[in-house]
């Protein structure tokens, strides 16, 4: 098989190369563990090599060795040459975000803009800042940085992610026309399947059901087969068909979604609702029970189980389900009301309908942030994945490390303090 003409072929590594050269070589090849070992050799023989400390911090973060990454960044901060390096503050910002210290992440990422207004990864920086401000519940700033991320067009995948996130902001504020406008403008730049699906849902929120159905069907023609994304689009199409009372095809859409991904709470909940509306109560119960096993801390499934138990005259079980629903969400008036009525012995001639789960597109795999690059390079620090693990979360002491790792001050989730690039830091 012939090689692709656009494929970059790296020259073989010279065995006589220095440890730094070998580390950079492994970095370029994406062999991060080997690169980290070579960077360790460099800093062991030359502790003042700030560039090696910086790249070692990047490597450790990719490897998810967060304590070691933090230590390496601290060592780099002690160097005059790296203290004002925006790549260092970008790395620190992502590291703080990984451990959910969003206040510290905000300070570090904002420092990047102060140090370099033309930061080479500006679009990714804007996206990360939007994410951090959302976690801090500063929604005006969240929206501001989403708009900035959309204005940069270097990475079309980030543009589509940011466009869908901004559309979700507008939809949650009932500004449906603005959501549609953002997505249609972005579609003129990139024919993203993510944007197509999001536009379909935005049309549905605007009660333009036929347009919504058309866009979602268009998305199914181009989305990757048997992927989580395809399952999500089938589900959204099923929710759309429910609006048109096309129960049969809604069933088919939910079944296709569950065939691809059978561990999704929302899919089982909606299927249970459809079975209930079709008077197939035993099948409805099976679906709702499955949803409760997947996510027992959601109030909709317990409220719907209460409705189902009422329908079959199982009053004690209905009261228990309503109690669970109101415990999960104390502001759920429907569950409280039905529980109170049943406790008083009151029965209604007409039992209320079940409820479906609200849709926040950000929870769907189709609209979540994706990891683009995983390699690091000597002169360019690429984006690290922001998958939040449990490291440091809620612990007053750091988890144990191996004997070769220096003991460092742990990152704390609730700490609001972060180092500043305007001050000197001593090791």
DSSP code per residue over 195-226: HHHHHHHHHHHTT-HHHHHHHHHHHHHHSPTT
SS3 351: coil
Would the pLDDT of 366 be above 60? no
pLDDT band at residue 4 under the 50/70/90 scheme: very low
* CATH 1.25.40.10 location in the chain: 13-119+373-419, 263-358
The correct CATH number of 13-119+373-419 out of 1.25.40.10, 3.40.50.2300, 2.60.40.10, 3.40.309.10 is 1.25.40.10
User: What percentage of the chain has pLDDT greater than the value 90?
Assistant: 49
The yes/no answer on whether domain 263-358 falls in CATH 1.25.40.10 is yes
pLDDT band at 343 (very low <50, low <70, confident <90, very high): confident
pLDDT per residue as tens digits for the range 96-125:
998 889 999 999 999 999 999 889 889 999
Whole-number pLDDT of residue 349: 67
What's the rounded mean pLDDT across residues 144-169?
92
- pLDDT attached to residue 332: 72
So what's the pLDDT on residue 231?
Answer: 93
| Among candidate residues 176, 175, 179, the one with its CA nearest the CA of residue 163 | 179
Task: Identify the weakest region by mean pLDDT among 132-141, 156-165, 326-335.
Answer: 326-335
Q: Is the pLDDT of residue 62 over 80?
A: yes
d(CA 238, CA 363): 17
pLDDT value of position 350: 79
pLDDT at 410: 28
Contact criterion met (CB below 8 Å) for 232 and 365: yes
* Backbone angles phi and psi of 404, in degrees to 5: -90, -5
pLDDT score at 199: 94
Least confident of 12-16, 108-112, 236-240, 277-281: 12-16
The model's confidence at residue 84, banded by pLDDT at 50, 70 and 90, is confident
pLDDT band at 289 (very low <50, low <70, confident <90, very high): very high
Beta-bridged to residue 380, according to DSSP, are 377
> Quick check: 405 pLDDT over 70?
no
- pLDDT confidence of residue 82: 57
Residues composing the chain: 427
The pTM of this model reads 0.71
Q: What is the pLDDT of residue 218?
A: 93
Mean pLDDT, residues 386-406 taken together: 28
**223-256 pLDDT per residue, tens:** 999 998 899 999 999 999 999 999 999 999 999 9
Q: Which residue(s) pair with 377 in the sheet?
A: 380
Q: What is the mean pLDDT of residues 335-352?
A: 80
- How far is it, in rounded angstroms, from Cα 203 to Cα 97? 33
pLDDT exceeds cutoff 60 at 23: yes
Give yes or no for a contact between 253 and 234, defined as CB atoms under 8 angstroms apart.
yes
DSSP 336-376: HHHHHHHHTT---SSPPPP-PPP--GGGSTTTS--------
What is the reported pLDDT for 75?
Answer: 87
Spatial contact of 73 and 88, defined as CB atoms under 8 Å apart: yes
Between the alpha carbon of residue 5 and those of residues 2, 8, 9, 12, the distances in Å are 9, 8, 10, 19
Q: Read off the pLDDT of each residue in 338-347 and give the average, rounded to a whole number.
A: 81
């Amino acid at each position: 098989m012939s090689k692709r003409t656009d494929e970059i072929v790296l020259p073989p590594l010279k065995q006589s190369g220095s440890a730094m050269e070998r580390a950079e070589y492994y970095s370029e090849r994406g062999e991060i563990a080997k690169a980290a070992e070579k960077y360790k050799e460099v800093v062991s023989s030359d502790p003042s090599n700030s560039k090696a400390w910086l790249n070692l911090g990047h490597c450790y973060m990719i490897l998810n060795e967060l304590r070691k990454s933090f230590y390496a960044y601290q060592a780099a901060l002690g160097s005059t040459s790296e203290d004002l390096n925006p790549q260092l503050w970008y790395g620190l910002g992502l590291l703080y975000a990984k451990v959910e210290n969003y206040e510290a992440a905000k300070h570090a990422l904002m420092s990047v803009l102060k140090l370099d207004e033309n930061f080479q990864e500006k679009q990714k920086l804007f996206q990360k800042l939007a994410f951090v401000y959302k976690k801090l519940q500063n929604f005006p700033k969240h929206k501001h940085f989403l708009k900035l991320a959309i204005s940069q067009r270097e990475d079309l995948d980030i543009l589509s992610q940011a466009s869908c996130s901004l559309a979700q902001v507008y939809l949650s504020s009932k500004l449906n026309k603005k959501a549609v406008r953002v997505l249609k403008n972005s579609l003129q730049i990139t024919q993203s399947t993510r944007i197509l699906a999001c536009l379909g849902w935005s049309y549905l929120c605007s009660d333009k059901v036929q347009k919504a159905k058309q866009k979602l069907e268009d998305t199914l023609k181009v989305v990757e087969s048997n992927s989580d994304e395809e399952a999500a689009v089938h589900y959204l199409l099923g929710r759309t068909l429910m609006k048109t009372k096309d129960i049969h095809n809604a069933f088919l859409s939910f079944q296709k979604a569950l065939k691809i991904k059978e561990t999704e709470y929302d899919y089982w909940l909606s299927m249970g609702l459809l079975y209930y509306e079709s008077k197939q109560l035993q099948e409805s119960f099976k679906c709702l029970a499955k949803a409760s096993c997947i996510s027992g801390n959601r109030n909709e499934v317990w409220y719907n189980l209460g409705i189902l138990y009422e329908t079959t005259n199982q009053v004690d079980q209905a009261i228990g389900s309503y109690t669970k629903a109101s415990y999960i969400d104390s502001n759920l008036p429907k569950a409280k009301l039905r529980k109170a009525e049943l406790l008083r012995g009151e029965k209604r001639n007409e039992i209320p309908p079940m409820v479906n789960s609200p849709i926040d597109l950000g929870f769907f795999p189709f609209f979540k942030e994706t990891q683009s690059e995983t390699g690091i390079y000597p002169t360019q620090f690429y984006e690290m994945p922001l998958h939040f693990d449990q490291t440091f979360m809620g612990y007053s002491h750091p988890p144990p490390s191996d004997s070769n790792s220096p003991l460092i001050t742990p990152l704390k989730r609730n700490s609001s303090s972060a180092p500043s690039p305007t001050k000197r830091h001593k090791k």
